[in-house]
Structure 1
């Protein structure tokens, strides 16, 4: 017996209103009576993946637009708790159905609205350089930020933040592929007293960032265009991730920070002879971190500072170090810097790949004096973490080149307490598309035969792991 058939329509509407949008829409096929109940849901999710993955055909795009029009015509939810639109792949004109949809939402935003997610970016934009400014295709009308709005995601659309007074409850903010002048960003952050998570991706005209947020815990800046400087006043900051050009980052000592990422992989040249000292000083302010990701640029430039061998106050809390490296000779002293500065390191990850190596690099000492290359083992320097704490090494993208063998052989030879070596083989093919897996495995076997010092070392390989 269908017990739902005996329920009053008002009760059914309440039940359907709490269903996820996709499930609510599916109820329309149950019977003629249920055909329009789904329009009462306050959890609206107009994601294009429900109709096609990416770059759908004209007919698929038209079906998507027709469904959106149907939703606007029949919408009767008393509340709109969540509103999400994800659409890409074509240019949206100012008077288009999508523009009208966004305007319709802005006119129906309620006090109960807790999440707004508007994403009109195109995945193909990722293939362009950091200076690429895509066409911003949606103008978001002004809407009054109600006290309940807790999450705001805007990508490839314009919004006049300065017209607002405050976002009292806003905790999570994502701004991507959008022009955000520095003064606008700084004022917007000041209008969000509850802000805990701020992520910026491929924004431009950011200029000077001065981010002051007393409750901010997560800050991610991903390839924003040419920030001249970044100043951070966030005493509760737990996670900081930066991807982009090398720039000045100023922050006071953060005793709460646990994870940091510094990836200057898009830097094409050593921009300033003072970069090494600037990066050194930055590490002094985050020496409480437990997980740190470092790029090749930092490994090459950091030793150029005045005291390149170790930090004045070591990274005593560091347990997990991730190196994005080619294991080129120019990176050796940078690697040594962190091995020396992390006396309690337990996990070392080496992400191998083609990195930008700077030809005018000048090491602080002769390469022949580096511990990785000294032939007489009596004069080799051994780091404290290798003798006492480093138990796991993970290598991603292993081929077994000469440079790789030099560094990994050192770690195996002097890693006295190593327990696990995880090796993810590179998926790169050889000439004419020849499968190189067997060659990489043989190179790994020869590496192990060179000898290890730890009596309990176990070696694992994972052929299918992404590099």
Structure 2
């Protein structure tokens, strides 16, 4: 009985160090480190937590501004947090870089921290840098470019400053992210064509790549060699009429034989090629093809590269004219197509003819029109099951023929949803909303299982 009482835990300090380290790992790093003042036995327990999550704004100043002295305190705190650990699983840092006095010191400290993390077999690194001056350049240490334990890496530049990544040239053969699976660059500028190409060809097991608002300064061609790549996201920076020509017209080719998902947003300032991607299943293209001279040419170049996929979503701003669809490629395997753009004219027939396997379509329109003299039925009507139209504008009467044609010729159609959006008074088939809805619902249907839903929305 006495032995049992002796073995009983009377306080947290009686727990084994590894258990206490596990408990502290559920706290933010800066909260966990404050337990070091409890007693001698607690002094270094917080260093047993495998993850570091550090934020200089949260650490010292609630007014979102760091003085030079508090900035130095934070630099020392991060250095100590890393050096006390034998192993660091993940490192998440939010860090501000301010004026000319301290920024080089800040950047040197950052590069030193990265070296320390590599020595501690880090697996995940996330850097969010608040840059308060025009340009900051970071040199990745050689050891980081050959880190064998790194699995996830993200670096982001916020505020108005530019973050330039410098990669030594040439990369040695040993410099390879042999374990890297997720790579994300946000608002980052690359400047050296040869070393940048080497970087994006040194990730043999990369599965997810995000290039968000990246700039390619005077880089004419970029090749991404990633045979294991599954997901690719490219988001271009917002349009700036005054941006230098060196930031445009890069030829970006991605060779990913296992690529399954692709997302693009931008103004088509570069040429994109997705080479040898037979596994591509889903893509989302959102852009402004009329901003630059070659916008539609580059849009259709992308579409031709991905024409074998099954699921496609396209959103083009502001509108898509009928002539804009003349070069639309054939989508032989697309079964689900969402065109979230205001398409005008006879574009619907072009879309149906070029999508022979289509089973679901959602399309925005300003007056849907189908010609009366259709010589042959589009192949997709034999297996089209779901149709949704969102019709914009006051010319609702022009859409009547399209609804009638599709209902009479879609063999296995199960659902048609029609939503009208117009401004001002309604101009419709019979002069009022309910009669027009009734007219649509009473149209003959080829498919006996087809259900039709009609809604009206007014905006002033």
TM-score, with normalisation over the residues of structure 2?
0.69
| Residue 63 of structure 2, aligned match among 57, 82, 89 | 57
C-alpha contact 1:253 1:284 (8 A) present in aligned 2: no
Alignment of 1:257-406 (within 5 A): 257-265=280-288, 267-271=290-294, 276=297, 282-296=302-316, 299-300=320-321, 302-305=324-327, 311=330, 315-329=331-345, 332-333=346-347, 335-350=348-363, 372=369, 374=371, 383-386=378-381, 388-393=383-388, 395=390, 400-402=392-394, 406=398
C-alpha contact 1:44 1:83 (8 A) present in aligned 2: yes
Mark the CA change 1:250 to 1:143 in structure 2 (over 3 Å): closer, same or farther.
Answer: closer
C-alpha contact 1:91 1:137 (8 A) present in aligned 2: no
Matched residue, 1:248: 271
Alignment of 1:96-175 (within 5 A): 99=107, 102-109=110-117, 110-120=119-129, 135-137=134-136, 139=138, 142=141, 144-145=143-144, 146-156=147-157, 157-162=163-168, 164=171, 165-175=175-185
- Indicate the SS of the match to 2:248: coil
C-alpha contact 1:175 1:200 (8 A) present in aligned 2: yes
C-alpha contact 2:232 2:262 (8 A) present in aligned 1: yes
Matched residue, 2:451: 457
| Cα deviation, residue 325, structure 1 | 0.9
Pairs aligned (count): 403
Mark the CA change 1:197 to 1:46 in structure 2 (over 3 Å): closer, same or farther.
Answer: same
Distance in structure 2 (CA, Å) of the matches to 1:352 and 1:177: 35
Which segments of 5 or more consecutive residues in structure 2 lack a partner in the other structure?
1-8, 158-162, 238-246, 426-431
Please list the CA deviations of residues 73-122 of structure 1 after superposition, one character each: whole Å capped at 9, or x if unmatched: 4552221111112357x746562585465245224213420111112268
- Indicate the SS of the match to 1:214: coil
C-alpha contact 1:46 1:85 (8 A) present in aligned 2: yes
- Indicate the SS of the match to 1:120: strand
Mark the CA change 1:232 to 1:115 in structure 2 (over 3 Å): closer, same or farther.
Answer: same
| Cα deviation, residue 219, structure 1 | 2.2
| Cα deviation, residue 59, structure 1 | 6.1
C-alpha contact 1:142 1:159 (8 A) present in aligned 2: no
Distance in structure 1 (CA, Å) of the matches to 2:32 and 2:339: 47
Distance in structure 1 (CA, Å) of the matches to 2:228 and 2:19: 41
C-alpha contact 2:320 2:342 (8 A) present in aligned 1: no
Tell me, yes or no, if structure 1 residue 185 matches structure 2 residue 196: yes
| Cα deviation, residue 147, structure 1 | 0.6
| Cα deviation, residue 243, structure 1 | 2.5
| Cα deviation, residue 222, structure 1 | 1.4
